[in-house]
Amino acid sequence: MSTSSHIAVFAFPFGTHTAPLLDLVQRLAASAPDVKFSFFSTSESNSLIFSGSKADDLGNIKAYNVSDGIPDGHIFGGNQHLEAVGLFIKATPDNFVKVVKEAEEDAGVKISCLVTDAFLWFACDLAEEIGVPWIPFWTAASSSLSAHLYTDEIRREIATSERSEQTLALIPGLQGLNINDLPNEVLMDSQESPLAHMLYNMALKLPKATAVVLNSFEEIDPAITTDLKSMLKKFLNIGPSPLLAAASKKPPSADKDECLSWLEKQNNASVVYISFGTVISPPPDEIVALANALETCEVPFLWSLKDHAKKHLPEGFIDRARNNNGKFVTWAPQVRVLEHGAVGVFVTHCGWNSILESISFGVPLICRPFFGDQKLNSRMVQDGWKIGLKVDGGVFTKSGTINAIQYILSSDKGKAISENVRVLKEKALDAVKPNGSSTRNFQELIEIVTKSPVQ
Ligand code: U2F
């Protein structure tokens, strides 16, 4: 029998949930080389995130595949992403529990702690049952975490309030925000979708967790931080991860399309970088509007656009862009791109990882949010931290996009936005210094993980 701790890590294999969880686990594993980490996700997600690593690189981390819940021969209908999420949720917790036994046999020791995506609330009951700590990892911002934790209060307020313009007056740190900025799942009946049901249950369970962990830093939202510290047993912000790449021993992401050498040829803070994350592709008319705006502004741009969406670009646009300093890739090494001084603004869907990466390297944002936490994130970008703009009317139009690009890149008000993001970046850098808040929180997390009793 082994005497080392054995941590089970449960991933939610959609959007960019798994990569930041693995980042966290790699940091923990490097700091606690005697502890065994078993990482559970679907085979599709595991093969994607572990693709660049050889077994030796993983050290004390071992990956296990769990079922994705998709029946053999299943044919997807309209929204494949949402359907796959629903099938996966239906397969939990049995798909995880089944494989845990295998990992315990391999490690020769029972699980001593559960580190999971916060969505996987069933882990709270499982941890209680086997008598180990549960450490959920919330992959988004503290503002959306807060919105979910206040779901019942918000629903009561909506039901009783007669105001048409409802603000979030009851939530510390979110007072100026509008109800319409909230993730749909906070507002809809929890029975309406498996995701809404999952998020509602998550909010009920999180206060029982040993510690809730975030890839963020306390100083970004002091009022929310204080409030969440009072609601949760422990609230540990341990990021931003882009500023901690060395600690997770992660090799820099590949640059097969030579984005960096292209950026080298551009002027400082001149390039518009565009990406909408891993799930979303804007509707065709908005792709056209964005392309036309770029052409009119005559700015250099780097656009991470999936091949299937290229057909929506205006006729001849790709050829004209090539001659006019525009570059298309299907996947950019985004962190390295945002770190490059040539990037002047990031046009984004406002996924949390993208925003945090932009803040980490001081790049202002233009926001076009789509679902989930993205509207709330864009509101914080524009009105909370004042580090960017939401496109006029919330969708890309040619004139609205031109205004936003010109505002950020060439107006005095744009300079103020750049200064605000620079100041926020300094706060992020302070948080990861040896005595910074995120460093201290991470030490506390290692204590919890390594001191978890060997079963
Ligand atoms: C879901 O996130 P998404 O995957 O849609 O978006 P992000 O959180 O912004 O993460 C995208 C990641 O993919 C990387 C980029 C980010 O780390 O650096 N990337 C890249 O390297 N190259 C590219 O060309 C394009 C992207 C969800 F949709 C969001 O609402 C949530 O906030 C998020 C976290 O829970 O998950």
Q: Is residue 455 part of a domain?
A: no
221 pocket-lining for ligand 1 (C-beta < 6 Å): no
Which numbered atom of ligand 1 lies nearest the CA of 275? 25
136 lines ligand 1 (CB under 6 A): no
User: Quick one: tokens of 301?
Assistant: 């741009």
Per-residue pLDDT, 169: 86
Q: What domain range is 150 assigned to?
A: 6-248+433-449
pTM value is 0.96
221, 437 contact by CB (below 8 A)? no
The pLDDT value recorded for residue 163 is: 57
State the total domains in the chain: 2
Whether the Cβ atoms of residue 214 and residue 145 lie closer than 8 Å to each other: yes
Q: Is 412 a catalytic residue?
A: no
**12 and 151 within one domain:** yes
CA distance 432 to 443: 12
Question: Can you tell me the ipTM of this complex?
Answer: 0.99
Residue 166: the pLDDT is: 77
Q: How far is the CA of 32 from the centre of ligand 1 (A)?
A: 28
**Rounded Cα distance, 152 and 67, in Å:** 32
Question: If residue 49 lies in a helix (H) or strand (E), which one and from where to where?
Answer: helix 43-49
3-state helix, strand, coil in the chain (%, to 5): 50, 15, 35
The one catalytic residue among 6, 23, 117, 340:
117
End-to-end CA distance of the chain: 10
> Would residue 185 count as lying in a domain?
yes
Q: Kindly give the confidence (pLDDT) of every residue in the chain, 455 residues in length, as a single tens digit, with 9 standing for 90 and above.
A: 456 899 999 999 999 999 999 999 999 999 999 999 999 999 999 999 988 666 566 789 999 999 999 999 999 988 899 899 999 999 999 999 999 999 999 999 999 999 999 999 999 999 999 999 999 999 999 999 999 999 999 988 887 776 556 778 889 999 888 889 999 999 988 888 899 999 999 999 999 999 999 999 999 999 999 999 999 999 999 999 999 976 666 778 899 999 999 999 999 999 999 999 999 999 999 999 999 999 999 999 999 999 999 999 999 999 999 888 999 999 999 999 999 999 999 999 999 999 999 999 999 999 999 999 999 999 999 999 999 999 999 999 999 999 999 999 999 999 999 999 999 999 999 999 999 999 999 999 999 998 876 66
274 and 233 housed in the same domain: no
Q: What is the pLDDT of residue 33?
A: 93
What is the Cα–Cα distance from 133 to 211, expressed in whole angstroms? 8
* Whether residue 137 has its Cβ less than 6 Å from ligand 1: no
In this structure, is residue 157 part of a structural domain?
Answer: yes
CB of 372 within 6 A of ligand 1: the answer is yes
**CATH number, domain containing residue 31:** 3.40.50.2000
Q: Tell me the C-alpha distance between 115 and 37, whole Å.
A: 10
270 in a structural domain: yes
> Residue 3: its pLDDT value, please?
63
Tell which residue, 348, 194, 325, has the closest CA to residue 274: 348
Q: How far is CA 445 from CA 29, 42, 197, 205, 441, in A?
A: 12, 26, 29, 19, 6
Looking from the CA of residue 355, the nearest atom of ligand 1 is 9
**Does one domain contain both 215 and 321?**
no
- How many angstroms separate the CA atoms of 276 and 295, rounded? 19
Cis peptide before 93 (omega within 30 of 0): yes
Task: State whether 360 and 377 are in the same domain.
Answer: yes
Whether 336 and 352 map to the same domain: the answer is: yes
Same domain? For 30 and 150 the reply is yes
CA nearest neighbour of 239 among 25, 439, 434, 18: 439
CB 391 within 8 A of CB 401: yes
- Residue 68 CB burial class (10 angstroms; 0-12, 13-18, ≥19): middle
Does residue 438 form part of some domain?
Answer: yes
Closest approach atom of ligand 1 to CA 16: 4
pLDDT of 436 reads 98
For residue 56, indicate whether it is catalytic. no
Is 415 in the same domain as 440? no
Residues 189, 267 within the same domain: no
Q: Is residue 391 part of a domain?
A: yes
For residues 384 and 395, the answer to whether their CB atoms sit within 8 Å is no
Residue 23: inside a domain: yes
218 within domain boundaries? yes
Is the Cβ–Cβ distance between 425 and 355 less than 8 Å? no
